[in-house]
Structure 1
Amino acid sequence: MLSEFIKSIQDLVPLKKSISGIRGIFGEDLTLIDILRFCSNFAPMIKSGKCVVANDTRPSSDVLRETAIASLLAGGIDVYNLGMAPTPVVFREARKYGAGLIITSSHNPLKWNGLKFIINGRGPNEKEFAQILKEKKPSKTKIGKEFSATSNYAADAASIIGKVSHRPKIAIDIGGGAAAVVAPAVLEKIGCHVHIINQNKSMRGADPTSDKLSQLVAASKRSDIGFAFDLDGDRLVVVKDGKKQSPDTTLALGIPKALELGYKKFCLSIDTSIAVEKYIQNNGGTVVRSKVGEANVIDTMLKKNCKAGGEGSSGGFILPEFNMCRDGILTSGLIAAMTGKKIVDEIISFVSNYTQLRTKIDAQSHLHDKVLEKFEKNVRSKFSEIITIDGVKIIVDENTWSLVRKSNTEDIIRISVESNNIQKAKQIQKEITSLVKQSYDQIR
């Protein structure tokens, strides 16, 4: 049958599927059939019967949004259509409606697209995401209705941040993305003077972390600070005095305002810089660690009652009271509010004392768990402290660690090392990489 043939083809297609969402190249490994299928699977999980939907500015986003809406309506869901809107805005509105769906592939190139799902104001956890991937038989139900939707995100964010008196000069590079209206509105509402670059059309790539951001770098030299957003507005890159800052620095720069607002208990992903943890602890806060991944950080936040935190590898600051997602727009406001103080330069200097090195080795996916199990046994006698909440993290000393994790999408094992001593970091990386390779050879 045709449906069985289509499914057999889909099973061969290398879509990227994780709790962060579903991503692929539209027209190649991501099709309208995929959109229909995953949204149809998602519909029964929406207990409120209502879902807010929006998209970023990719060329394919409009047709994918309309396809997604059709699938949800057929599943009996009432859809509240925001049109083009950033991911943080959709997460904020999803609290009102009970569920949300964003047509985006975040920072991937323009030819990519995908789906981000929101359940009860947060991204799905691993069990919930498995249900989205699982085929379900459609049940007879009523057809949903479609409504237009609006958002008070800018006013709400400004209310959380509060007014700033020093009227900082802020340069922002929208990158032609969905933050075009909302990000400037938030910064202006709190009292910033804003210079906008690439508001509607972009002369740079979709991923601000890998782009040189030449225009913003130049503009930042005439501003107090610069911010760059990806296409859906959840990812933020900070540029200060003509220099791009690391993702861990971006995360750390959101913390002083959070502490000032009274948030003391933080959750950080297991791969976030030790510098971020030390800064929090040195300023009266406490830290718990989570598995890597935005949804995993939020899951731990909810379980451990953490008030703020994030993921250093993506510069993702999260304030769950306001939004249970990585929120680049809110974070830009939190950082801008602190620009009149020495703390911004102090944090940049403190985090820069630490170096992270990353590498990977090829390893077949079906052997990943066995490799990590063998690796853990091999290092137990060499290092005194081992953490296994996500892969194998080795604490070498108070300023040095290594993390070995499997990839969820590729035939590789990732190896990260951090230290405040670059030579020690290189030495540990060489030793750990050798031990991972040895472990892989032992189980093959």
Structure 2
Amino acid sequence: MKKSISGIRGIVGEDLKLDDVLRFCRNFAPVIKSKKCAIGNDTRPSNEMIREVAVAALLEQGIDVYNFGTVPTPVMFREARKCGAGLIITSSHNPLPWNGLKFIINGRGPNEKEFAHILKEKQTQQTKFGTEYAATSNYVDDATKIIGKMRHEPKILVDVGGGAASFVAPQLLRKLGCHVDVINQSISSRGPDPTADKLTKLVLNSKRYDIGFAFDLDGDRVVVVKDGKKQSPDTTLALGTIKALELGYKKFCLSMDTSIAVEKYIKDHGGRVVRSKVGEANVIDTMLKEKCQAGGEGSSGGFILPEFNMCRDGILTSGLIAAMTGKKIIDEMIKFVSNYHQLRTKIDVESDLHDKTLSKLVQKLKSESSEIITLDGVKIIIDDDTWALVRKSNTEDIIRISVESDNLQKAQQIQKQITTLVKQSHEQAR
């Protein structure tokens, strides 16, 4: 089972059982000061069972539950602002046997103190029973107000991957004025993670459309397909950034592993950039502390507009990008981002040796690097267009290595060098 402030995930019946759902939801109840909780789920086979257990646990603890049924994660974040709290039954982009719980407090994910309360072993005592209500969302209307209706009618192909986005994304795009066709409406039509899947059907058919979008099962991730080519997750974030700048936003927060291309574009257009640790919850936390107006996480294609939603919002992002179709800036940004090459690999390192290995690595790099940042692992700034990031995994016995450069051969060489140094540091840490 994976436990982090981004949520709890596991394989249903193996490491995530109904007893776990009961305990976590009972512990969540005292954190809900409003005594109201919006609840929804994506399209996983185990959702109904887990949702009913979660609802029962919250009702038992005196929480009024507003049940939205099958909806995307961004919709739940939006509705949770109104209720004061929210719970999403989802495992995002994990395989179908997985499921999980994603908690929302005051429109954001829980902080460390709140999450520690959710994880505690001792269960909260019953107070009085709450009431369950059927609920519907105004998400589409709210998103339309932010984006604005379009004067042209772009042709959009939407790959919903059998996920919860199928209930909202096409509706939003059509309301904006797009002509929309939908594919892969079955849950098993492709892999649950569009950043990893080849998106074969969308790629093959996209040339007949202005642009294509592919969503994960809970709709917080979106991947762009343009002119028969699947674009990188960083491209999704970069395109969202264009629209944010057009809307007048100037201060952005980007995760440490987001492409330097996104940062360069923001700065070249009068914006400022703050960097955060990797992970949606960390980006949101930094956004709130630094009062950032937009940003996100490049590795997951996660654009975040906190004014609207304090989460990755793939559905809103698709609308923002669709509103720019027909403009040269989309092709220009895609080309700009493609000039940078990101390489990712991982090395097996025991969790209890993660910190010691990274400490040894820093000692080796001090004499060789112009700048080292230790906000999240070890980030080495090699020059204006090249960096490497070495981070420990919070859930696995691995250390992750990311490298980016505007020169592919240079990136490959640096990846090889950094990998060797990490292996040496690991050996010395033993």
Q: TM-score range by the shorter chain?
A: over 0.9
CA-to-aligned-CA distance 1:195-243 (integer Å, 9 cap, x gap): 1112355521212122222221122110000001111111101100111
Which of residues 224, 227, 231 in structure 1 aligns to 2:210? Answer: 224
Which of residues 26, 30, 34 in structure 2 aligns to 1:48? Answer: 34
Inter-partner Cα distance in structure 2 for 1:97 and 1:57: 23
Inter-partner Cα distance in structure 2 for 1:373 and 1:22: 29
* CA apart distance, 1:140: 4.0
Inter-partner Cα distance in structure 1 for 2:357 and 2:75: 41
Which of residues 342, 345, 349 in structure 2 aligns to 1:356? Answer: 342
Give the corresponding residue for 1:311. 297
Inter-partner Cα distance in structure 2 for 1:218 and 1:140: 55
Equivalent pairs: percent with the same residue? 76
Equivalent residues of 1:125, 1:296 under 8 A apart: no
CA-to-aligned-CA distance 1:74-99 (integer Å, 9 cap, x gap): 12211110011110000000000111
Inter-partner Cα distance in structure 2 for 1:165 and 1:371: 56
* CA apart distance, 1:181: 2.0
Which of residues 239, 245, 258 in structure 1 aligns to 2:225? Answer: 239
Give the corresponding residue for 1:288. 274
Equivalent residues of 1:317, 1:328 under 8 A apart: yes
Give the corresponding residue for 1:206. 192
Inter-partner Cα distance in structure 1 for 2:111 and 2:238: 25
1:369 has 2:369 as partner: no
- How high is the TM-score relative to the length of structure 2? 0.98
Deviates more, 1:254-263 or 1:308-317: 254-263
Give the corresponding residue for 1:12. none
* CA apart distance, 1:139: 2.5
CA-to-aligned-CA distance 1:153-192 (integer Å, 9 cap, x gap): 0010011000111211100011111111210111111111
Deviates more, 1:380-389 or 1:192-201: 192-201
Partner amino acid, structure 2, of 1:310:
G
Which of residues 238, 241, 245 in structure 2 aligns to 1:252? Answer: 238
Give the corresponding residue for 1:162. 148
Inter-partner Cα distance in structure 1 for 2:104 and 2:46: 21
Partner amino acid, structure 2, of 1:246:
S
Which of residues 302, 311, 321 in structure 1 aligns to 2:307? Answer: 321
Equivalent residues of 2:23, 2:123 under 8 A apart: no
Q: Secondary structure at the match of 1:402?
A: strand
Which of residues 100, 108, 111 in structure 2 aligns to 1:125? Answer: 111
Inter-partner Cα distance in structure 1 for 2:339 and 2:89: 38
Which of residues 403, 412, 435 in structure 1 aligns to 2:389? Answer: 403
Equivalent residues of 2:77, 2:311 under 8 A apart: yes
Equivalent residues of 2:24, 2:118 under 8 A apart: yes
Which of residues 14, 24, 27 in structure 2 aligns to 1:28? Answer: 14
Partner amino acid, structure 2, of 1:223:
Y
Deviates more, 1:151-160 or 1:32-41: 32-41
Inter-partner Cα distance in structure 1 for 2:338 and 2:169: 27
1:76 has 2:69 as partner: no
Which of residues 47, 50, 60 in structure 1 aligns to 2:46? Answer: 60
* CA apart distance, 1:137: 3.7
Deviates more, 1:192-201 or 1:33-42: 192-201
* Structure 1: runs of 5+ lacking an equivalent: 1-14
| Paired residues, number | 430
Equivalent residues of 1:161, 1:333 under 8 A apart: yes
CA-to-aligned-CA distance 1:247-276 (integer Å, 9 cap, x gap): 001110111111111111100000100011
Q: Secondary structure at the match of 2:39?
A: strand
Which of residues 421, 424, 433 in structure 1 aligns to 2:410? Answer: 424
Task: Give runs of aligned pairs for residues 14-25 of structure 1, distance below 5 A.
Answer: 15-25=1-11
Equivalent residues of 1:103, 1:116 under 8 A apart: yes
1:443 has 2:426 as partner: no
Which of residues 144, 158, 167 in structure 2 aligns to 1:181? Answer: 167
Equivalent residues of 1:180, 1:200 under 8 A apart: no
* CA apart distance, 1:141: 1.0
* Structure 2: runs of 5+ lacking an equivalent: none
Q: Secondary structure at the match of 1:180?
A: helix
Give the corresponding residue for 2:254. 268
CA-to-aligned-CA distance 1:348-383 (integer Å, 9 cap, x gap): 100000011111111110111111122112211111
Q: Secondary structure at the match of 2:129?
A: coil
Q: Secondary structure at the match of 2:33?
A: coil
Inter-partner Cα distance in structure 2 for 1:128 and 1:138: 14
Inter-partner Cα distance in structure 2 for 1:325 and 1:115: 15
Inter-partner Cα distance in structure 1 for 2:259 and 2:331: 17
Q: Secondary structure at the match of 1:323?
A: coil
